[in-house]
Amino acid sequence: MRGSRKHKLVDYYLGISLVGLLGILKRIIPARFFKKKQKPRRVLFIKLAAIGDTVLFLTAVKAFKVKFPDVELDFLCSPINRELLERVPFINRLWVMPLSGKQFRLKAVLQMCGEIRGQAYDLAIDGEQWSRITPLIAFYARINKLVGFKTPGQYRHYLFDEAIDHGQNAHELELFKDLVKGLGVTEFEPPQIYFKEEDARKGGKLLRELTRKDAKTIIIHPGCGSHGWQREWPPENYVRLITGLRKELGKVTVIFTGGKSEVALGEELKVKLGDTVNLCGRLELMEMCFLISGADIFISGNTGPMHIAAAVKTPLIALHGPTDQRKWGPVATSAGAMVIKSPLECSPCLSLGFEYQCGGNECLRSIEPGEVLAAALKLLGTVKRDA
């Protein structure tokens, strides 16, 4: 959704007008329109994208459920993050909003909004940072209390009863926690990924087929989605990195992961490097998550699987150019996580995740393969995996 220019234009020009107008209306209409309650009985969490954000947001969702175990907790998502959320045991019901690509149908969206309205939710907690569609949905559903971000320059907060400042210098994980802290939630666990037995069966089979006891397993996620090429390290740099790792370590198993839009990129690397495995476009999301959990090291730009690697405690290297590691960097747990950032003065340049300040990716190109190689060797030599 971040990459959809059409969606962003409609959301900005129409969304801001509607949010502002309805925000005024909400403050002058009779209080009985929204039936206020002291304690929430039914709560709706909202996050339509993206994978990395969803992994981090779930930390706040789980903490809320632990604090209020009797609450019926539902989640409004999209096809983008549905598979990840279907595994979460404390989510009672998933609402999947058809808002992406060819699946968008205005009639279906309005019908689902009506169904959500019929659930009489007491509280909605909106984890979106810039989109105006989610506060509009929550308002239409007549949810008693709305909590969400007040993001500078986005004008999306006028419908919220509690607007939480979306600070530009704070990590997204801490900002997601802020959404529930005002409701009395104070204790949080690190981000984690939830698996079904079927995920473990499929992923375990893959690991047995692809990995060798006498070789380090290196997973490279070279792409950043169909609209995130500015966050991608050049393919020739990955070639130099893998060549260096082979020279230093001898036997290595190199696996490329990615979505359907990254199949060609994975194949390009496979052709140039020879003995590698290109799984781009071939894995379901949860298969990839389980595969990453069994790797010795994971290397990528700033993308959702980077946060997955951190959550499953796989040692990782995150390459940051236009993105600020203080805001979007991996959340290290018991395993190691190393961030390598661009030395260019113009880096980083993003505050929302899509408003790139140039037409290239010179900041990623400025990161030298030798620096990444040294970091990888350090992680592979010093980090001990959990038993």
For the segment 152-178, what is each residue's pLDDT rounded down to a tens digit?
Answer: 888 888 899 999 999 888 999 999 999
Cβ-based neighbours of 369, under 8 Å, separated by 6 or more:
237, 240, 241, 244
- Whether residue 382 is predicted with pLDDT greater than 70 in this model: the reply is no
- Whether residue 236 is predicted with pLDDT greater than 50 in this model: the reply is yes
Helix (H, G, I), strand (E, B) or coil at 340: strand
Cβ-based neighbours of 209, under 8 Å, separated by 6 or more:
none
| Whether the Cβ atoms of residue 231 and residue 322 lie closer than 8 Å to each other | yes
Residue 281 CA to chain centroid, in angstroms? Answer: 18
| Predicted pLDDT of residue 32 | 41
- Whether residue 48 is predicted with pLDDT greater than 90 in this model: the reply is yes
- Whether residue 384 is predicted with pLDDT greater than 50 in this model: the reply is no
Using the CB atoms, write b or e for 330-356: b if 16+ within 10 Å: bbebebbbbbbbbebeebbbbbebbeb
Quote the strand ranges of the chain, DSSP E.
42-46, 72-77, 93-96, 123-126, 145-150, 162-165, 216-221, 252-256, 277-278, 297-301, 316-320, 337-341
Closest CA to 375 of 255, 265, 236, 218: 218
Tokens matching residue 375: 């970091």
Q: How many angstroms separate the CA atoms of 49 and 57, rounded?
A: 10
Highest mean pLDDT among 91-95, 197-201, 322-326: 91-95
Tokens matching residue 57: 């947001």
Homologous superfamily, domain 5-181:
Glycogen Phosphorylase B; (3.40.50.2000)
| Predicted pLDDT of residue 352 | 65
Q: What are the pLDDT digits (tens) for 175-213?
A: 999 999 999 999 999 999 999 999 999 999 999 999 988
Share of the chain above pLDDT 70, in %: 85
Q: How many angstroms separate the CA atoms of 142 and 138, rounded?
A: 7
Helix (H, G, I), strand (E, B) or coil at 68: coil
Cα angle 33, 131, 28; round to 5: 25
Residue 191: asked if its preceding bond is cis (omega within 30°), the reply is no
The partner residues of 217 in beta bridges, in order of sequence, read 253
**In which residue ranges of the chain is CATH 3.40.50.2000 found?**
5-181, 197-382
Cβ-based neighbours of 289, under 8 Å, separated by 6 or more:
84, 193, 195, 199, 203, 308, 312
- Whether residue 9 is predicted with pLDDT greater than 70 in this model: the reply is no
- Whether residue 53 is predicted with pLDDT greater than 80 in this model: the reply is yes
Residue 286 exposed, middle or buried by CB count within 10 Å (0-12, 13-18, 19+): buried
Using the CB atoms, write b or e for 83-108: b if 16+ within 10 Å: bbbeebeebeeebbbbbeeeeeeeee
Helix (H, G, I), strand (E, B) or coil at 301: strand
What mean pLDDT do residues 90-107 have?
78
Q: Which amino acid type is present at position 215?
A: A
| Whether the Cβ atoms of residue 149 and residue 166 lie closer than 8 Å to each other | yes
Cβ-based neighbours of 321, under 8 Å, separated by 6 or more:
230, 231, 301, 341, 342, 344, 347, 348, 361, 363, 364, 366, 367
- Whether residue 301 is predicted with pLDDT greater than 60 in this model: the reply is yes
| Predicted pLDDT of residue 230 | 83
User: Domain 197-382, what fold?
Assistant: Rossmann fold (3.40.50)
| Predicted pLDDT of residue 98 | 79
| Whether the Cβ atoms of residue 159 and residue 138 lie closer than 8 Å to each other | yes
